[in-house]
Chain A
Amino acid sequence: QKEVEQNSGPLSVPEGAIASLNCTYSDRGSQSFFWYRQYSGKSPELIMFIYSNGDKEDGRFTAQLNKASQYVSLLIRDSQPSDSATYLCAVNPPGANSKLTFGKGITLSVRP
């Protein structure tokens, strides 16, 4: 069973803080990793993707991948109330072609 696990939430941080969202995956051969943001009642929106070990930065967002530990994370710097949403980690396991395995998501609340 290919699994993607995300920390149980919800996660609450004050405005301006760093929010750290974590995800582990079971299939060691997985190669592609995605973070989607989903506001209540809306569809998932791609935030970041990462394929190589290390960090990838885009504005206030940093994705971190450690394939040895089978761990991918999303850091949100200078968190804003508008970042309050559910964040979905998704993994494309090897041989799965088009299929993404999603984690259950974690709800982030940024307190003004």
Chain B
Amino acid sequence: DTEVTQTPKHLVMGMTNKKSLKCEQHMGHRAMYWYKQKAKKPPELMFVYSYEKLSINESVPSRFSPECPNSSLLNLHLHALQPEDSALYLCASSQSGGARTDTQYFGPGTRLTVL
């Protein structure tokens, strides 16, 4: 089973709201990722957690705040977003985050609209 789940599927928020995106996997993977994808573009890496520690932050604005409460869960806290942050937010997981054979599996995504 290579399932990564994400909630909610869709989210509409105002620029002053605070919301959170959630991601869960039960494959025993130890690396989890957040990506942002705009229409007709490839996914763009935001954050990587490896063994529950933040290992990569791709210079993402502080209005995006990741959290990894345990090895199965990954959250992305959103605050004071801008309309240009509207996108598909993808969570992915992989076995370890470093081996040559490491393969990333994506969740279904959260479609975020910022008004």
**Interface set of A (CB-CB < 8 Å, partner B):** 31-32, 34, 36, 42-46, 49, 51, 88, 92, 97-100, 102-105
Contacts and interface: CB of A to CB of B under 8 A. Distances in A.
B107 interface: yes
Interface of B: 2, 31, 33, 40-43, 45, 48, 50, 55-56, 88, 90, 94, 97-98, 100-109
A65 to B, nearest CB: 13
Nearest to B43: A102
Contacts of B40: 105
A98 B97 contact: yes
Given A43-B107, A92-B102, A104 B55 contact: no
Given A104-B41, A104-B42, A51 B100 contact: yes
Nearest to A45: B106
B45 A51 contact: no
B94 A98 contact: yes
Contacts of A46: 2, 103-106
A90 B104 CA distance: 10
B45 A44 contact: no
17 contacts: A32-B102, A36-B106, A42-B108, A43-B108, A44-B43, A44-B106, A46-B104, A49-B103, A51-B100, A97-B56, A97-B98, A98-B48, A98-B50, A98-B102, A102-B42, A102-B43, A104-B41
B101 to A, nearest CB: 7
